[in-house]
Chains A and B, each alone.
Chain A
């Protein structure tokens, strides 16, 4: 479903991603872990083309883009192959919960209002926020906002969902409700998921594979079982020792 080939990204002279290669199968859930500042967010943002890679090639669902020649049209088309969930939710502040969910359906997918609202209602039920449909984001808790952000992405039914530390900005007591919504998506097996997270237990529970990144490179890729019990690389072991305490 996703193929990343020789992907590099620099900000000016600062290299952030260095020759990343990664294949992700349809329906797979991949957790990306690693110290902060190693380029995990940048990797996701390159997959959604919120950042333009400096070099390399990315393919999602049969659509390929090359960093060297990207047209605006390609960017729009490619971006619609995936949806992104941000660390700080980024709900549209001028829209109600329901409008947050229906906006892209109406504007991008050209679905009519009644149908969009019907689909939004289903999603709102799934994320348990039906009674908040007419609230504005500012009146919701962080956990609720993130659930809406996930709903906003889910409703577009893209084959790929990208989560960038979806629970890092939340109070510890609100993490659970968000993780359980994400978990319910991973269990349906028709969505390919890449999730950057520091929730190691969660990664172990839901991921089919763990990718460990450090300093802009993929250091190790392994099944959760192997990753957490018997990682191949010394650096991975040090990281785990640090994070599991």
Chain B
């Protein structure tokens, strides 16, 4: 069998149509991941009793198992033990699974970013009379965000790439469409090449945007952390 450039080009727009669904999953998961990570990072930072241990077990489990298993467990497994999950769609299961998975990693990054803020910054805030919460809001979080931003960008790229697993639980995304077209034409090379190109271009665009954002932040900060 020979490679048909013409076929690959002609299928590209068809597959590209489903990039919307892939990005949708990535963006929505990212949104929930950031919120959920913030909550569990704070629970861990302040070592809130009870929750703290539960959170650590959750992180251990989700970091120690493959995303694919997690997605299957949520989509195919949970409805069998509780009727509450029967009406769950593949899309919803993908969001839940990807959020729980990504947050288990993101909380580590956020914790690292929080801990990267020097102790002196916190003490200086307290010494001028601020409360712990005020120090968190005005000093620690802004500084930690700058540290975390590049990492969050990478997490987002991971989410875009991992969203390709959603097709295994019935979500019609780039990967699903590429597989479908491949099956019907038996031209898998061309179809998956298109998928390759689309994922790669999306990752690149995000990286460029991320670099731009970092540069802009650096300008605002006027070489903010030059001395540290």
- Interface, chain A (partner B; CB < 8 A): 48, 50, 76, 79-80, 83-84, 86, 88, 90-94, 103-104, 107-109, 135-139, 149, 152-153, 156
Q: Which residues from chain B contact A80 at a C-beta distance below 8 Å? A: 129
CA A135 to CA B222, docked complex, whole Å: 8
Q: Does B34 contact A (CB under 8 A)?
A: no
Q: Which residues from chain B contact A135 at a C-beta distance below 8 Å? A: 222
Partner of B128, one of A88, A139, A156: A156
**Structural contact, A137 and B227, CB atoms closer than 8 A:** yes
Q: Which residues from chain B contact A137 at a C-beta distance below 8 Å? A: 227
**Structural contact, A138 and B225, CB atoms closer than 8 A:** yes
**Structural contact, B225 and A152, CB atoms closer than 8 A:** no
Q: Which residues from chain A contact B224 at a C-beta distance below 8 Å? A: 93-94, 136, 138
Q: Which residues from chain A contact B6 at a C-beta distance below 8 Å? A: none
Which B-chain residue is minimally distant from A75 (CB atoms)?
Answer: B126
Chain A proximity of B149: nearest CB distance (Å): 13
**Structural contact, A92 and B139, CB atoms closer than 8 A:** yes
Q: Which residues from chain B contact A139 at a C-beta distance below 8 Å? A: 222-223, 226
Chain B proximity of A175: nearest CB distance (Å): 19
Q: Known contacts A48-B127, A92-B124, A138-B224; can you find 4 more A-B pairs with CB under 8 A?
A: A76-B131, A83-B128, A90-B121, A138-B222
**Structural contact, A152 and B128, CB atoms closer than 8 A:** yes
**Structural contact, B121 and A86, CB atoms closer than 8 A:** no
**Structural contact, B222 and A103, CB atoms closer than 8 A:** no
Instruction: Check A153/B223 contact, CB under 8 A, given A86-B120, A88-B120, A94-B143.
Output: no
Q: Which of A94, A135, A137 has the most CB of B within 10 A?
A: A94
CA A104 to CA B125, docked complex, whole Å: 8
**Structural contact, B131 and A104, CB atoms closer than 8 A:** no
Q: Does B138 contact A (CB under 8 A)?
A: yes
Instruction: Check A90/B134 contact, CB under 8 A, given A50-B127, A104-B128, A135-B222.
Output: no
Enumerate the 6 nearest inter-chain pairs by beta-carbon distance, A residue then B residue, closest first.
A138-B226, A104-B128, A90-B124, A90-B120, A84-B127, A108-B129
Chain B proximity of A158: nearest CB distance (Å): 8
**Structural contact, B126 and A50, CB atoms closer than 8 A:** yes
- Interface, chain B (partner A; CB < 8 A): 118, 120-121, 123-131, 134, 138-139, 142-143, 146, 221-228
Count CB-based A-B contacts (< 8 Å). 79
CA A102 to CA B18, docked complex, whole Å: 51
Which B-chain residue is minimally distant from A94 (CB atoms)?
Answer: B142
**Structural contact, B130 and A86, CB atoms closer than 8 A:** no
**Structural contact, B123 and A86, CB atoms closer than 8 A:** yes
Instruction: Check A92/B125 contact, CB under 8 A, given A138-B225, A138-B226.
Output: yes
CA A153 to CA B226, docked complex, whole Å: 24
Q: Which residues from chain A contact B138 at a C-beta distance below 8 Å? A: 92, 103, 107
CA A94 to CA B227, docked complex, whole Å: 12
Q: Which residues from chain A contact B127 at a C-beta distance below 8 Å? A: 48, 50, 79, 83-84, 86, 153
CA A94 to CA B141, docked complex, whole Å: 10
Which B-chain residue is minimally distant from A99 (CB atoms)?
Answer: B138
Chain B proximity of A81: nearest CB distance (Å): 9
**Structural contact, A104 and B225, CB atoms closer than 8 A:** no
Chain A proximity of B147: nearest CB distance (Å): 11
**Structural contact, B129 and A94, CB atoms closer than 8 A:** no
Q: Which residues from chain A contact B142 at a C-beta distance below 8 Å? A: 94
**Structural contact, A103 and B128, CB atoms closer than 8 A:** yes
Q: Which residues from chain B contact A91 at a C-beta distance below 8 Å? A: 124
Q: Which residues from chain A contact B143 at a C-beta distance below 8 Å? A: 93-94
**Structural contact, A93 and B128, CB atoms closer than 8 A:** no
CA A48 to CA B127, docked complex, whole Å: 7
**Structural contact, A94 and B128, CB atoms closer than 8 A:** no
Q: Which residues from chain B contact A94 at a C-beta distance below 8 Å? A: 139, 142-143, 146, 221, 224
CA A201 to CA B128, docked complex, whole Å: 29
Chain B proximity of A60: nearest CB distance (Å): 13
Q: Which residues from chain A contact B227 at a C-beta distance below 8 Å? A: 93, 137-138
CA A80 to CA B127, docked complex, whole Å: 8
**Structural contact, A79 and B120, CB atoms closer than 8 A:** no
Partner of A108, one of B120, B124, B128, B222: B128
Q: Which residues from chain A contact B123 at a C-beta distance below 8 Å? A: 50, 84, 86, 90
Q: Which residues from chain B contact A86 at a C-beta distance below 8 Å? A: 120, 123-124, 127
